[in-house]
């Protein structure tokens, strides 16, 4: 259990409400920066701002890197560029500092950059040339490198000259005289090797440098595949430009998981649970509007068969079964495909195999479930024809749902649309329309 868990948020709320603010300092003094950030993130905006003012600029610089961009913007919205620069200048890691700058409102970004000291401005500008979601955008430029011709003894003496090593340092990178990446030297090897041994004899060359323009998703896959703690980042000339560490990759993995889960409901992964009502209302209105359109489309299909529905009332009772079953089956396939696309295990060579399998699964499930539904329907409504109609419609919809679930992510991605966000809406529309259309068309044919 962490310190933040031991410290009830209700207790802080009581101190703020009662005006005994001096007690807060004693409560939060021993908390790690990450726990303080979590505490602030879980507090309503008014209390968050009160707590924020209790921290000096050094502590603010330590905890600011743990905030979501939306919360960070809220805390700094009333600050001048000079005040913001003074706080973020306390951030040590280049990638964290760059993330904070990128998370600021556009109107503040250039102002803050202009008032940063030359060292901090250079740190940020070196990373801002890369896209935020690439290896270059993730990397930290604080790296330790050595030449292959030096001995382990020289490496040890070189390390001792540093006041501290960059966090999560598990290896030293080896470069040639022009700064091109050659390989790496694990710190464990440095500690156990003969001091007279050269770096060239001990270094590892099995792991290539990560191109700076590689997507963060692909970088995360490399870290997972090779169990990396850190890795070198190189530019298009193979020059060592920085390193990526496992803490950055954990953030990528969490962000992608949040994106996939919240995207299915049309929510932004940076959404602040304590955001203002109107802001939250606006952000959700688009998603609700899209779903409203799909509902109108399904209603339009039903309206076409108004005469049939008037004659056979049982159809209105059974319609949701066909649409619902198709939606569930399609969502299963869609989720599977999106997940494996994210993991990189799906490509053009195996997509056809997956499509055949999902069609077979959809068909078999459709046949099995249709038999059950047909039997129950015929028994309840004493109408074997009605049972046969819903059985055929169910098989058709489950097969179409499987087909849509496999093909939709690739189509949406090709159109530049995020499948995790739009996939569910489009799929639901397809399964609703196909399910209702097939069910009511068959009913119209047999009951005409």
CATH number at residue 80: 1.25.60.10
Assess whether pLDDT exceeds 90 at residue 301. no
What is residue 82's predicted lDDT score, i.e. its pLDDT?
Answer: 82
- The mean pLDDT value for 333-352 works out to 84
> Is pLDDT at 294 greater than 90 in this prediction?
no
Alpha-carbon separation of residue 28 from 31, 36, 55, 61, 272 (angstroms):
5, 7, 10, 16, 22
**Average pLDDT for 363-374:** 93
Count other Cβ atoms within 10 Å, centred on residue 282.
10
Contact 240, 136 (CB under 8 A): no
Q: Which domain-ending residue is among 137, 164, 180? A: 137
Looking at the fold, whether 130 and 159 belong to one and the same domain comes out as no
- On whether both 349 and 380 belong to a single domain, the answer is yes
**Is the same domain home to 149 and 133?**
no
Q: What is the pLDDT of residue 158?
A: 94
Coil, helix or strand for 381?
A: helix
Decide if 269 is inside a domain: no
Q: Of 246, 93, 230, give the one whose Cα is nearest residue 172.
A: 230
Flag whether 268 is in a domain. Answer: no
Structural domain including 80 reads: 3-137
Q: Same domain for 69 and 111?
A: yes
Residues 125 and 149 in one domain: no
Instruction: Tell whether 219 and 131 lie within a shared domain.
Output: no
The reply to whether 296 falls in a domain is yes
Asked, for residue 205, whether it belongs to a domain, the answer is: yes
Give the CATH number of the domain where residue 332 resides: 1.10.357.20
Task: Calculate mean pLDDT across residues 216-241.
Answer: 94
Q: Do residues 131 and 150 share a domain? A: no
Please check whether residues 31 and 128 belong to one and the same domain. Answer: yes
Q: Do 37 and 96 lie in a common domain? A: yes
In-domain check, residue 11: yes
Tell me the pLDDT tens digit for each residue of 109-161.
778 888 887 777 777 877 788 888 899 999 988 899 999 999 999 999 999 99
In a domain, 114, yes or no: yes
Domain boundary among 90, 105, 137: 137
Domain final residue, candidates 90, 106, 137: 137
271 part of a folded domain: no
Instruction: Tell me the pLDDT tens digit for each residue of 35-81.
Output: 778 777 777 777 777 778 777 777 777 788 787 767 777 777 777 88
Mean residue pLDDT across the chain: 84
Q: Are residues 104 and 157 in the same domain?
A: no
For residue 111, what are its two tokens? Answer: 């102002």
Query: How far is the C-alpha of 331 from the C-alpha of 265, rounded, in Å?
Result: 13
> 388 pLDDT exceeds 90?
yes
298 & 442 share domain: yes
Residue 271 has pLDDT above 60, yes or no: no
Which CATH number does the domain housing residue 238 bear?
A: 3.10.580.10
Q: How many distinct structural domains can be found in the chain?
A: 3
pLDDT band at 266; cut points 50, 70, 90 = low
Give me the torsion for CA of 97, 99, 104, 106, rounded to 10°. 110
Both 182 and 328 in one domain: the answer is no
8 A C-beta contact, residue 245 and residue 144: no
Give the closest residue to 420 by CA, choosing from 220, 262, 217, 253. 262
**pTM (2 d.p.):** 0.69
Is residue 256 in some structural domain?
Answer: no
Q: Strands, E, within 342-444: which ranges?
A: none
């Amino acid at each position: 259990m962490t310190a933040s868990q031991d410290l009830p948020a209700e207790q802080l709320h009581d101190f703020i409400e009662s005006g005994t603010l001096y007690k807060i300092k004693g409560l939060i003094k021993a908390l790690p920066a990450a726990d303080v950030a979590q505490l602030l993130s879980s507090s309503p905006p008014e209390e968050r701002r009160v707590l924020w003012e209790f921290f000096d600029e050094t502590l603010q610089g330590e905890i600011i890197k743990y905030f979501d961009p939306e919360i960070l913007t809220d805390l700094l919205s009333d600050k001048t560029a000079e005040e913001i620069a003074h706080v973020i200048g306390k951030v040590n890691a280049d990638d964290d500092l760059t993330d904070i700058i990128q998370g600021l409102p556009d109107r503040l970004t250039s102002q803050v950059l202009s008032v940063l000291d030359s060292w901090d401005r250079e740190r940020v500008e070196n990373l801002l040339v890369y896209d935020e979601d690439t290896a270059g955008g993730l990397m930290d430029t604080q790296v330790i490198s050595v030449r292959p011709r030096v001995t382990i003894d020289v490496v040890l003496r070189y390390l001792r000259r540093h006041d501290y090593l960059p966090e999560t340092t598990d290896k030293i990178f080896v470069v040639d005289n022009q700064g091109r990446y050659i390989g790496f030297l694990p710190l464990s090897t440095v500690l156990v090797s003969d001091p007279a041994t050269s770096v060239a004899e001990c270094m590892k060359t099995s792991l290539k440098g990560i191109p700076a323009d590689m997507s963060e998703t692909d970088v995360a896959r490399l870290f997972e595949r090779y169990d990396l703690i850190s890795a070198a980042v190189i530019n298009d000339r193979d020059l060592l430009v920085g390193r990526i560490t496992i803490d950055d990759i954990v953030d990528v993995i969490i962000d992608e998981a949040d994106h996939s889960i919240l995207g299915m409901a049309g929510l932004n992964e940076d959404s602040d649970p304590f955001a203002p009502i109107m802001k939250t209302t606006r952000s959700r209105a688009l998603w609700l509007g899209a779903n409203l359109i799909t509902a109108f489309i399904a209603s339009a299909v039903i309206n076409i068969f108004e005469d049939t529905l008037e004659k056979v009332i049982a159809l209105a009772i059974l319609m949701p079964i066909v649409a619902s079953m198709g939606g569930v089956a399609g969502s299963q396939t869609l989720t599977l495909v999106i997940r494996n696309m994210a993991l990189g295990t799906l490509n053009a060579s195996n997509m056809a195999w997956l499509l055949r399998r999902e069609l077979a699964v959809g068909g078999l499930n459709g046949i099995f479930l249709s038999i059950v539904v047909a039997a129950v329907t015929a028994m309840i409504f004493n109408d074997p024809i009605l049972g046969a109609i819903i059985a055929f419609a169910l098989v058709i919809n489950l097969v179409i749902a499987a087909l849509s679930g496999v093909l939709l992510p690739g189509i949406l991605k090709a159109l530049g649309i995020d499948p995790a966000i739009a996939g569910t809406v489009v799929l639901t529309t397809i399964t609703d329309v196909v399910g209702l259309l097939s069910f009511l068309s068959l009913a119209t044919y047999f009951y005409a």
